[in-house]
Structure 1
Amino acid sequence: MSTDPATNGTQELDVRTIDGEPFSDIIAALERLDENETLVLVNSFEPEPLYNVLEQRGYIYETIHAEDDEWRVSITHA
């Protein structure tokens, strides 16, 4: 897993590089997220099943379809 902190309080997790199911990696990255930080999740498809989980755990998100095989979901604490 590669979660890289940036200088602006944003961390990026590219789940396309994870071998296998990335759900536990996503949850672990969210648990390390400070209140004022953003996690940008990069995926090869829109992770619609994740949205309900995010809402239940108190996160808000914004999804951008950046390229044909790249979806970027910015996730912050609500």
Structure 2
Amino acid sequence: MILDNRGLEPPQPMMRTLAALETLGENEVLTIINDRRPMFLYEQLEELGYRQRTEPQDDGSFKIEIFR
């Protein structure tokens, strides 16, 4: 599942991401694309038992893969 959060103002990207995680299956990966590095999201993910991998993109955005 890919969620493009570019162009949204905080806290919309985090709210959309957390809502999408509720539908994520056990072995699925949620990929989000944000304009900014989601510093506050990382804390939430850790508390919920998720791991993430963040890659800066050439256009200045960030691609974050979220998984268990």
Normalising by the residue count of structure 1, what TM-score does the alignment of the two structures yield? 0.76
Query: How many residue pairs are counted as aligned between the two chains?
Result: 67
Aligned to 1:25: 16
* Structure 1 residue ranges, 4+ long, deviating more than 6 angstroms after superposition: none
Percent of residue pairs bearing the same amino acid type: 36
Aligned to 2:3: 13
SS in 2 for 1:24: helix
The CA RMSD over aligned residues, in Å, is 1.6
Which of the two has greater strand per residue? 1
Cα distance 1:19–1:52, how it changes in 2: closer, same or farther (>3 A)?
A: closer
User: What runs of 5+ residues in structure 1 fail to find an aligned partner?
Assistant: 1-10
User: What runs of 5+ residues in structure 2 fail to find an aligned partner?
Assistant: none
User: Which structure is richer in relative contact order (CA contacts within 8 A, separation 6 or more)?
Assistant: 2
